[in-house]
């Protein structure tokens, strides 16, 4: 960490970002007074956010929720917010909605993400053989056995404590949170947070699978999948959210696809299941029946943002490609939802929405219904909260919104931390900061340029690894 200590006045801060002069008097009233540069530039510890990030009460993230309406998702009617929205043709089987299939096929034929990049960078001719080879190789190791519902992996023996001649691990909830944090980060996770499955928290667990099999909370000794149900023991009270980074440098070279985040996350998932099982605890794989962004908001990993399907982090922007979820009976201290000003910033920013070649990002303010009339007509969304919702009819899952977020800035430049701090205190400069991010070229880059850059080892720029 830098040892340079200096007090920065409001006037010096405004002058440093070019805002001294007109309006300075009004700005000085609300702008932060940084006591020390280390206060601004220091990275957050695992359990201590930067001073400008507020912790909220449990089950109270930075979006308005109507708990009388917000209920567990019934997936037999449709899959909400998923890659391929579905609508049921009968009570048990679901098919792709014909209007969605038609729109998706049209958009994919257009290759709008590639055309978008060609317009933005005239020299770019589209993905080359080396681009396809790189992205294919980045996903080639996604061959590890995926955990089943109770966390078992084909061909992998997870020894119990008794198999090692030891007693089950015992620790306080605080000690256990530190234990899984260190272990998960050792395996490759960047953030580890926990939400408790309270009566409200349980509403984030989907009601059933797409085939109709219910997820039932029961007084049971162990989790179980039967022909008729998935059993979640009531003693499994904690939902762990561990976030893994996308390739922090390569993701900005959109639309060249990358599977590195999924590949890396898949490896971490196997590691953490083995670890929890070996310690003697339940490890239910919940990635398929809980919403990633929703859990991230409740656990304090991210905030709900205009990116809709993504959770946005004050320190990592939209670069968490993998948001793993595991339900366990290990006693853990829950972490609280956060308010870093992200939801307020998104109202004025819209950088991700304007960067979407498929026009699948909402442009309006938060709302209770869906901004897209087509999806509102069949209510293809989770009701009960006031926020932003992805246009699932249009989104083919390119990654422009991942690379375009203003909060992606890492920690290599002091200005990023100043921006984060200022927008958390006051929204009056949010529009300016969004424009500044684009003007200084921190967003999308020419895909061809990646091959001439000095790329970080193993995908991750070290300024993001805290």
Instruction: Decide if 419 is inside a domain.
Output: no
Please tell me what DSSP assigns to residue 463: G
CB atoms within 10 A of CB 35: 13
* Least reliable range by pLDDT among 7-11, 274-278, 419-423: 7-11
The number of distinct structural domains making up the chain is: 2
User: Is the same domain home to 16 and 112?
Assistant: no
Instruction: Decide if 294 is inside a domain.
Output: yes
Place of tokens 């109202």: 347
User: Has residue 132 got a pLDDT over 50?
Assistant: yes
User: Has residue 43 got a pLDDT over 50?
Assistant: no
User: Is the same domain home to 201 and 329?
Assistant: yes
Helix (H, G, I), strand (E, B) or coil at 241: strand
Average pLDDT estimate for 225-235: 98
Instruction: Decide if 423 is inside a domain.
Output: no
Domain of 34 in residue numbering reads as 10-40
Confidence of residue 441 (pLDDT cuts 50, 70, 90): low
User: Is the same domain home to 258 and 367?
Assistant: yes
Instruction: Decide if 429 is inside a domain.
Output: no
Choose between 426 and 344: higher pLDDT. 344
User: Is the same domain home to 35 and 102?
Assistant: no
Instruction: Decide if 333 is inside a domain.
Output: yes
Residue 447: its pLDDT value, please? Answer: 73
Instruction: Decide if 421 is inside a domain.
Output: no
User: Is the same domain home to 101 and 17?
Assistant: no
Confidence of residue 438 (pLDDT cuts 50, 70, 90): low
User: Has residue 170 got a pLDDT over 60?
Assistant: yes
User: Is the same domain home to 30 and 83?
Assistant: no
User: Has residue 417 got a pLDDT over 70?
Assistant: no
User: Is the same domain home to 30 and 137?
Assistant: no
Choose between 166 and 109: higher pLDDT. 166
User: Is the same domain home to 32 and 65?
Assistant: no
In sequence order, the β-bridge partners of residue 55 are 338
User: Is the same domain home to 36 and 60?
Assistant: no
Helix (H, G, I), strand (E, B) or coil at 149: coil
Residue 301's closest CA among 314, 288, 289, 290? 314
Instruction: Decide if 124 is inside a domain.
Output: yes
Start-end of H helices in 188-291? 260-279
pLDDT tens, position by position, 444-464: 777 777 677 776 666 666 666
Residue 281's region, left for phi above 0, alpha for psi from -120 to 50, else beta, is beta
Query: Can you tell me the distance from the alpha carbon of 455 to that of 466, in angstroms, rounded to the nearest whole number?
Result: 19
Whole-number percent of the chain with pLDDT over 70: 68
Average pLDDT estimate for 198-225: 96
Residue 363: its pLDDT value, please? Answer: 93
User: Is the same domain home to 146 and 182?
Assistant: yes
* Side-chain half-sphere exposure of 70, counting CA atoms within 13 A: 19
Query: Can you tell me the distance from the alpha carbon of 191 to that of 320, in angstroms, rounded to the nearest whole number?
Result: 9
**Under 8 Å between Cβ of 306 and 391:** no
CA dihedral sign, ordered 323, 327, 331, 337:
positive
Residue 100: its pLDDT value, please? Answer: 58
pLDDT tens, position by position, 293-317: 999 999 999 999 999 888 999 988 8
* Secondary structure (DSSP) of 276-318: HHHHT---EE-TTSS-HHHHHHHHTS-EE-TTTTSEEBTTTBT
User: Is the same domain home to 24 and 166?
Assistant: no
User: Has residue 155 got a pLDDT over 70?
Assistant: yes
How much is the mean pLDDT over the chain?
79
Average pLDDT estimate for 240-259: 75
Instruction: Decide if 2 is inside a domain.
Output: no
Residue 184's closest CA among 305, 342, 328? 328
Confidence of residue 233 (pLDDT cuts 50, 70, 90): very high
* Least reliable range by pLDDT among 113-117, 335-339, 388-392: 113-117
As a whole number of Å, the CA-based R_g of the chain is 23
């Amino acid at each position: 960490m830098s040892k340079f200590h200096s007090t920065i006045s409001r006037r010096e801060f405004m002058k440093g970002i070019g805002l001294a002069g007109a309006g300075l008097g009004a700005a000085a009233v609300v702008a932060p007074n940084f006591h020390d540069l280390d206060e601004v530039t220091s990275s957050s510890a695992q359990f201590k956010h930067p001073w400008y990030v507020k912790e909220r009460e449990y089950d109270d993230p930075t979006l308005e929720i109507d708990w009388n309406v917000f209920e567990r998702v019934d997936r037999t009617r449709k899959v909400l917010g998923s890659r391929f929205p579905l609508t049921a043709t009968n009570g048990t089987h679901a098919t792709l909605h014909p209007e969605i299939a038609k729109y998706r096929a049209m958009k994919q034929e257009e290759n709008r993400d590639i055309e978008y990049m060609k317009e933005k960078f005239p020299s770019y001719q589209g993905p080359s053989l080396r681009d396809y080879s790189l992205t294919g190789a980045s996903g080639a190791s996604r061959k590890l056995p995926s955990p089943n519902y109770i966390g078992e992996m084909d061909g992998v023996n997870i020894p119990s404590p008794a198999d090692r001649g030891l007693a089950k691990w015992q620790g306080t909830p605080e000690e256990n949170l530190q234990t899984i944090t260190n272990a998960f980060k050792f395996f490759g996770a960047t953030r580890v947070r926990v939400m408790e499955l309270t009566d409200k928290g349980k509403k984030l667990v989907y009601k059933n699978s797409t085939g109709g099999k219910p997820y039932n909370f029961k007084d049971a000794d162990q989790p179980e999948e039967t022909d008729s149900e998935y059993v979640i023991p009531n003693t499994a009270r904690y939902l762990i959210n561990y976030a893994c980074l996308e390739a922090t440098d390569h993701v900005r070279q959109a639309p060249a696809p990358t599977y590195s985040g999924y590949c890396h996350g898949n490896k971490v998932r196997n590691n953490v299941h083995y670890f929890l099982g070996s310690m003697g605890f339940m490890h239910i794989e919940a990635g398929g029946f809980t919403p990633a962004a929703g859990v991230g908001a409740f656990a304090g990993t991210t905030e709900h943002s205009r990116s809709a399907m993504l959770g946005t982090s004050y320190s990592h922007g939209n670069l968490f490609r993998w948001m793993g979820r595991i339900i366990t009976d290990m006693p853990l201290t829950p972490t609280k939802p956060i308010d870093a000003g992200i939801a307020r910033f998104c109202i004025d920013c819209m950088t991700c929405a304007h960067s979407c070649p498929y026009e699948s990002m909402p442009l309006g303010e938060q709302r209770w219904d869906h901004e897209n009339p087509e999806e509102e007509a069949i209510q293809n969304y989770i009701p009960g909260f006031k926020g932003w919702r992805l246009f699932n009819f249009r989104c083919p899952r390119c990654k422009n919104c991942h690379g375009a977020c203003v909060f992606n800035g890492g920690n290599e430049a002091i200005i990023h931390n100043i921006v984060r701090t200022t927008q958390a205190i006051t929204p009056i400069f949010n529009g300016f900061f969004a424009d500044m991010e684009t003007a200084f070229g921190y967003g999308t880059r020419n895909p061809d340029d990646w091959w001439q850059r000095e790329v970080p080892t193993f995908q991750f720029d070290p300024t993001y690894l805290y």
